Amino acid sequence: MLELRCPPSVEGIAVNPQPDWSFDSLISELNSLEKKLNASSTFPLPFNKTRSRGFSDAKGNESSSRAFVMRVLDEDMPDAESDVGEEDHDRSLAALAGRRFTCGDLCMSDSEDSEDELTHGGQCHLMKKAGLVEGALSEITHEHQLSVTEEIRNEILALESKLMSENEKFASAQAHIEKYIEARQEMERKFDLQYQRIIAEELDNHLTAVQRDREHRSQIEEKRIRDDAAHEEAKRKQKAVEKAQQEAEEARRQAEKKLAEEAKRAALAADRRAEEVAKEKERAAAAALVARQEATVESKGVQPHTSKEVNPPEKNVAHNIYNAALRLLLSSVNWHFDVGNILKGAESALKLEERRLQTYMEMVRKNEELGVGSSKDYRNHGMQIARRIKTITGTKESVRTKAGELIQIMKSPCPQSISIAMFAEKVVSQCSNPTGSFNNAVYAYCHVIVLVTSQVPTAMEIVLAELNRVCIYTVPKYYSQSGFETKDAYYKAIGYQEEDGKIESPDSYVARLSSYMKLYGALVQTEVEGVQNYHGIKEGWAWLARFLNILPANLYTANALQAFLEMAGFALYRRYKSQFRKLLNIIYRDFLNALRAASRERGDSRLNKVITSIQSYIESNQFLNEPKGRRLQSSLLSHQFVPESDYQEQYYSPSHRYY
């Protein structure tokens, strides 16, 4: 039997106190109630179930949203099965949330006492009437939720489809990009290959142009050398004519002098004859006197006392020869002085200079006998040596090649003395007109000198003799101006050049002097592996000690010292360390103070400049830094960009290695 737990009346609708309904009749009754409610509603909306207010669920804790709760009383079923059935009903009723009504629990029983229990027990309510607004709102909310859910589902589907489409597009784009990258890489490889070909062609053209330019310069240099040779030949001829005139004049003077000397000798002969006659008479008288004395002694029986005559000591022939040669050398510049008063220099250095000068003069006489200057072959030989020296660069390849060529020239059929003299002259002449790159090239020149002189040792003596001849400070030695009659004579003695009857300016002389000293300083510090330098760092150390001990401080000696330290200071410090620092302290304390005193006395700005340079060199420890150009380069920069080995072979000429 169906038991309704609801109030007896809801909104004026009464419930039969003793219902005897079947399930179908209950459904039909509910449908009729729904129609009535819809007819009486002001909203044209179907009736929607709402959660009843004030009704509790089967447990009595919260309101139920279930349409019906039907309870079937069965005495034969145990409580556990009843509980399970109740839970199954709850789940079933929860699934029927779309029904139109919400009712409390219904209890159905077959016992006849159910009517009494319904009459006397608590009243059960079928449903609580919901408000129209609440129903409409609930319906709108439900439809909104459905629509939102549908929209979300549609959006999700759209997003999924869009995501799949984007993934497909991304995969397609990625494949396209990979193909594009492969195409670009292939194109870049082709471009790189093309660029390498272009670079190789350009480099080939550049090297060809460089080679052509070098050949052109070489031709220009040869032409200039030929012109210089022609000019020198013209000057030589002019000098020969002048010399012939001078010889004729000298012959005339000698003839006159000879006549005068003959007359003088005749007078002297007459005087000597008169003296001899007088001496003969004296000897005769003395002999008579001696005879008388001997006779007297013999008569007395006394032996005569004999005496031995002692010859005077012989003079130092070598010393006389050296003084005569020195007087002959000084007479060429009209020096009239006592050598010991104005010439200052260490005795050992002067002896070395004398030895070099003697070797040099012997070679000059030998070359004059061979006819140097009068033969065209000799002039061409000199031009070949000059061309190779002028084209020396600061690379190992250039130094090795030029040194090998010069050694082959010296071993050629041409007399070696001529080759050595020309080599020394051409090397030293590079200092006559120094350019901006002279400081870098001077080390390369010295490497070539060391390599050549290691094979031809005599060449080192001639090079040093040539340096001593053109620059007295390479000895080192010094001449006092007070011993000369004129300033021009003094200037010529210390190395000033004369052109068109005029002495060069002090600035030009100082620049040339510095170049000679740079060449000398670079030479003494040059070290080539496996090759002996016959005038190495020990000679440089000795030169510096002699310089500071003997030479005074003036403009010329200061510039010579600065140039020498600039070239050789780094190597001297590496070899002698603290001893070299002591010499620098002496320079800083004594030499610079003497220069400052001379500068204050004369007011010469050039002295202030060289004082500042030497002071800065010592204070900033520039001797710790390796000079630029001292270390030869491995190769030219253009050689590093040649892509193929055959390009290198095109511009490489094999030569003998000498280090």
What is the domain partition of the chain in residue ranges?
A: 9-120, 177-294, 343-624
Give the residues across from 499 on adjacent strands: 502
Question: 3-state DSSP helix/strand/coil percent for the chain, to nearest 5?
Answer: 70, 5, 25
State the pLDDT at residue 276: 66
Domain 343-624 class, CATH top level? mainly alpha
Closest CA to 410 of 390, 389, 395, 396: 389
pLDDT of residue 638: 46
Whole-number pLDDT of residue 286 = 53
- What whole-number distance in Å separates Cα of residue 353 and Cα of residue 474? 10
The alpha carbon dihedral of 97, 99, 105, 111 has a sign of negative
Check residue 287 and give its pLDDT.
Answer: 52
Partnered with residue 105 across adjacent β-strands are 69
pTM of the model: 0.49
Instruction: Pick the closest to residue 385 from 420, 431, 432, 360 (CA basis).
Output: 420
Q: What is the pLDDT of residue 61?
A: 43
pLDDT at 375: 65
Structure confidence at residue 454 (pLDDT): 94
Q: What is the spatial distance between Cα 265 and Cα 543, in angstroms, rounded to a whole number?
A: 52
Q: What does the pLDDT read at residue 310?
A: 34
Residue numbers in the chain where pLDDT is lower than 70: 1-21, 40-130, 271-272, 275-341, 372-375, 435-437, 635-659
d(CA 384, CA 213): 18
Rounded distance, CA 110 to CA 128, Å?
Answer: 27
> Would you state the pLDDT for residue 322?
37
Residue with tokens 């006659």: 277
